[in-house]
């Protein structure tokens, strides 16, 4: 299981939200490119970039994404505001290796299925859940679709990577909802990443101890920025 550091972008800066709420935003860094380089220097094998402006529908950080992808030699996965095939193409052209679909999976499943086929091998699914319901539009509202139902769709579409978040744990430092990840991995998804909930190395060890073959990594943001988890030490501990 690898540690995947997160860069959440708002107006070109590294930020973190608590439970996806815009009003609970903390700015950590004005230079996301330097931050990405530091993550790779610490041993990161993949970087997770979220365009929060795109997710909220009030801007874009694609040029920052391009600069990050050019600056590092590891795969970059990115999401936030991906609505069309053109959006996917633009992010792949900017240097991303994987593009994450979120709201589109729920609101326009036919389009999502077409994109999954068109860009096979480069599409990941973001499942952001409040309880059993998938949230959409930057987590601002429920999508009316159950997690299990969305997982069944993904299997049919051939989507092989799932990034799963239990929103009530995100940015809170309360650790992971381990049962949630047991359930996601049991769905048959070949590659699963856990997101939201890490505070210290013990949280990552608890996730790794589940010994779930399809659990490929954990995305960590706030804990790294606030210093409760050292990225280099975590990479070494989980290797």
Active site residues: 8, 128
- Pairing of the two strands 13-18 and 21-29: antiparallel
Backbone dihedral angles phi then psi of residue 137, each to the nearest 5 degrees: 55, 55
- Rounded to the nearest 5 percent, the helix, strand and coil shares of the chain are 40, 30, 30
The number of CA neighbours under 13 Å toward the Cβ of 150 is 30
For residue 105, the surrounding DSSP H or E stretch is helix 103-107
What are the backbone angles phi and psi of residue 225, rounded to the nearest 5°? -65, -35
Token duo for residue 25? 């935003």
Q: Are 83 and 112 in contact (CB under 8 A)?
A: no
90 CB-near residues (< 8 Å, 6+ apart): 62
DSSP per position, 132-160: TEEEETTTTEEEEEEHHHHHHHHHHHT--
212 CB-near residues (< 8 Å, 6+ apart):
181, 182, 185, 192
Q: Are 126 and 160 in contact (CB under 8 A)?
A: no
| C-alpha dist (Å) from residue 108 to 113, 131, 133 | 9, 22, 16
């Amino acid at each position: 299981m690898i540690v995947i550091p997160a860069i959440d972008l708002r107006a070109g800066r590294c930020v973190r939200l608590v439970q996806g709420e815009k009003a609970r935003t903390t700015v950590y860094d004005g230079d996301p490119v330097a931050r990405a380089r530091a993550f790779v220097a610490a041993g990161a094998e993949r970087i997770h970039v979220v365009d929060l402006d795109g997710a909220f529908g009030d801007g874009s950080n694609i040029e920052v994404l391009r600069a990050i992808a050019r600056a590092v030699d590891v795969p970059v996965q990115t999401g936030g505001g991906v609505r069309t095939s053109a959006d996917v193409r633009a992010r792949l052209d900017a240097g991303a290796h994987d593009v994450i679909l979120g709201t589109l999976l729920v609101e326009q499943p036919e389009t999502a299925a077409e994109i999954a086929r068109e860009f096979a091998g480069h599409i990941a699914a973001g499942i952001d859940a409040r309880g059993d319901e998938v949230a959409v539009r930057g987590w601002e509202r429920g999508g009316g679709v159950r997690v299990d139902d969305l997982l069944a769709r993904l299997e049919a579409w051939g989507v092989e990577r799932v990034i799963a978040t239990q929103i009530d744990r995100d940015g809170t430092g309360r650790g992971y909802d381990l049962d949630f990840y047991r359930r996601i991995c049991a769905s048959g998804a070949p590659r699963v990443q856990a997101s939201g909930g890490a505070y210290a190395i013990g949280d990552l060890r608890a996730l790794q101890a589940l010994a779930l073959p399809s659990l490929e990594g954990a995305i960590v943001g706030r804990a790294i920025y606030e210093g409760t988890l050292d990225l280099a030490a975590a990479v070494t501990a989980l290797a």
